[in-house]
Amino acid sequence: MKKMMLSEDDKIRDMASKMSNEFDNYMSEYSMILAFGCVLDPRLKFESLKYLYEKLGHDTETVK
C-alpha cells in the first residue's frame, strides 16, 4: 500500500491514502481485542512454548 501511495497516478495515490487511513483507524480500535484473542488462543500458546523449548533445548539451564 505504501508503494501505491507514492504512485504518479492521482487516483491510485488518493485511493491508497484513504485505504491506509481506514486500516489505521480499524487497527487502533481493535488492536486490544486482537491482543486478548492471541493471549487466550491455546494454539498460539503451544506455538510459543514450542519455540521456547527449541531455543532452550532439553537442558533448560543452557540456551542454544
Question: Looking at the predicted structure, is the pLDDT value of residue 55 above 60?
Answer: yes
- Rounded to 5°, the CA angle 8-10-14 comes to 120
15-48: per-residue pLDDT in tens?
999 999 988 887 776 666 766 777 787 777 777 7
Provide the H-helix boundaries in the chain: 2-5, 10-40, 42-56
Is the separation of the CB atoms in 5 and 17 below 8 Å?
yes
Place of cell 491482543: 35
